[in-house]
Amino acid sequence: MLSTIRHLMWHDARSLRVTLAVWAGILALQMGVVAVGPMFVGSGSDRADVNLGQGVIVMRLAMTVILTALLIQRDTAVGTTAFWLTRPIRPLAMWAAKLTSIAGWCLLLPAALAWVLFIGLGLSAGSAWEAARQLLIEQTVCAAYAVVAASATATLAHFVVASLAAFTAVWLGTLTARAWQDSLPSITLPGVNAILNAWMLVLVAGALVVSAHQYITRRRFRTWVLAGVCLVVAHGTLVVVRNTPGLDPAMWSSRTYTPPAGVEVRLGDTVTDEPADVTGSSGLVVTGRALSTTVWAMSPSDTDVLEPVGVRSSMATTTAEPVTTIRWSESLRRGLWWTNAPSVVDDQPIRSIRQALAVDRLAVPSASLLATPLYRAYLAEWPVEAYKAFAAKGGGILRAEVVVKAYRYHVGAAVPLRAGASYALPDRWLRVTLVERTPRGIVVTIRTAFVSPFDANVARRGGVQYLLRNRARREALFFTDQHTSNTFLTLGTTSFGPGTGLRRFEFDSQRPSNGTIALTNAWVDGAELVVLIPVDLGMFTRSAEVWVQPNGVAK
């Protein structure tokens, strides 16, 4: 059977040689765009970088779908007219040949090219594999959908119609299911991206089963039913599988952090109480009340930074008996937001960075650069009947189990401040391409290649930070957020995927809010560009509570 599979694959490749050449061209184009695109696009030019990058990504995904459909439908198992059906070819051999071809051309080839690209860009083999793996996952999901649709249809036209119908059904079904999400049973899985992993595994298994069923039995109606079941289960997985309530999957850490004495985890003094659409116990959306407050965590440590990343809560009355369990709204399960808390000065990141840099003076151009995102707003939704019971008792205690992440900055790399200087860490590579003096200070342009999703988001708390440091003077300076521009081209559809970028940092000596550092020639001659990387220390949970009166008065 193996020789038959090889024979079939060879003929597939031969018959689709023009399409495969186009496919190879698209892959080469994308790799080329990612490798050198940012240099040609320039920085901040009307989002041309995004358009170019997204354009080739769309081409790649579209071609993946087309190539998968062509590979399967050239020897379709739908209908009774295909040539191969009356030839001495085992259905299992044909199925294996198709799936192996798809795996080779649509999955492994792009992943291999991505691996070579990132090796060529200076990343380690492990990081290049991580970049390739992200592309592999994207291609696998895309091809799996195409396999399901192509297995149940005989022509590209039918494939397109079936795909559109399935897409619409899945979209409407998912929207409907989301409205009932709280009343559905949930499955909690540990680990980073558990939801996506579960979804992908179900989808790939479903695609294998659906295609094998059609090739072996050729019973199309049953295949359609199986395809429907596959899509429902895969997308049902997205609805019912959760990492942990209120926890951002990207923030997940499996380690446990033991907080030092003096750590303070608090709920905000102000609780907002306002009408909101709430999913009631019946599953229907009703008008209720929403309470929202901020959560913050402070550390006395000069090195460790604390950040609240999740919360579980219940509301208790004065008798300490819970009136109801407050469910965090669905939007918050998927993304919490930052908020300002101007009354509290959070200098944890500054202290950690100062320690990491070993400087006496750290000039921060904007107070909000690091302090702003300390606090996270949390929203609790409450059906109106429950709220009335709460109000009738004169208020209650909002009690929360706050999940806190801890991290610490350390110097990832330090390179001399001159064009051509470069460094390579396992998961990122950087080269200084231009150093310009301006009336306000210095503009440094760098080319970079990265795997870490957080590298791309400069202003994000807990992300990679770039600074200028003069070691002899024990002084360091942050770049100015307002005059910094980034051009990023990523390999995948997500904006935090592996990719390359051209970044332009302005270090403005006149802007720091906590004292000016004069960027003299002598200072600049001894300066280096420092890349600070947060090291994950783990997580811990701490209880916090606040008394809430009706209308949101906390005391």
Residues in contact with other proteins by CB under 8 A are 3-4, 7, 11, 14-15, 74-75, 80-83, 85-90
DSSP type of residue 483: G
* 88 or 335: CB nearest other proteins: 88
Distance of CA 221 to the CA centre of its chain: 38
- Provide the minimum distance between the beta carbon of 75 and other proteins in the complex, in angstroms, as a whole number: 8
Inter-CA distances, 535 with 310, 353, 425, Å? 19, 12, 14
* Cα–Cα dist 59/26, whole Å: 7
Q: 160: Cβ–Cβ under 8 A, 6 or more apart, which residues? A: none
* 7 or 334: CB nearest other proteins: 7
Instruction: Specify the 3-state DSSP secondary structure of 376.
Output: strand
* 80 or 258: CB nearest other proteins: 80
Q: Three-state secondary structure along 258-316?
A: CCCCCCEEEECCCCEEEEEEEECCCCCEEEEEEEEEEEEEECCCCCEEEEEEEEEEEEE
- Provide the minimum distance between the beta carbon of 13 and other proteins in the complex, in angstroms, as a whole number: 12
413: left (phi over 0), alpha (psi -120 to 50) or beta: beta
* 14 or 555: CB nearest other proteins: 14
Beta-bridge mates of residue 478: 467
* 88 or 262: CB nearest other proteins: 88
Residue whose C-alpha is closest to residue 199's, from 155, 242, 248, 250:
242
Residue 459 CB coordination number (10 Å): 14
Six token digits for residue 129: 């594999």
Residue given tokens 């396992």 in the structure block: 426
* 70 or 517: CB nearest other proteins: 70
- Provide the minimum distance between the beta carbon of 28 and other proteins in the complex, in angstroms, as a whole number: 24
* 81 or 258: CB nearest other proteins: 81
* 20 or 517: CB nearest other proteins: 20
Residue whose C-alpha is closest to residue 507's, from 539, 476, 535:
476
- Provide the minimum distance between the beta carbon of 86 and other proteins in the complex, in angstroms, as a whole number: 4
- Provide the minimum distance between the beta carbon of 228 and other proteins in the complex, in angstroms, as a whole number: 21
- Provide the minimum distance between the beta carbon of 9 and other proteins in the complex, in angstroms, as a whole number: 12
Inter-CA distances, 389 with 103, 187, 319, 385, 394, Å? 58, 31, 13, 6, 9
- Provide the minimum distance between the beta carbon of 94 and other proteins in the complex, in angstroms, as a whole number: 11
- Provide the minimum distance between the beta carbon of 89 and other proteins in the complex, in angstroms, as a whole number: 7
Q: What is the CA radius of gyration of the chain?
A: 27
Inter-CA distances, 345 with 372, 404, 481, Å? 9, 18, 19
Residue whose C-alpha is closest to residue 17's, from 28, 25, 6:
25
* Cα–Cα dist 112/102, whole Å: 14
* 88 or 185: CB nearest other proteins: 88
- Provide the minimum distance between the beta carbon of 154 and other proteins in the complex, in angstroms, as a whole number: 9
Residue whose C-alpha is closest to residue 116's, from 40, 32, 49:
32
* 7 or 255: CB nearest other proteins: 7
- What are residue 7's phi and psi, to 5 degrees? -60, -45
Beta-bridge mates of residue 285: 279
* 8 or 464: CB nearest other proteins: 8
- Provide the minimum distance between the beta carbon of 71 and other proteins in the complex, in angstroms, as a whole number: 13
- Provide the minimum distance between the beta carbon of 238 and other proteins in the complex, in angstroms, as a whole number: 37
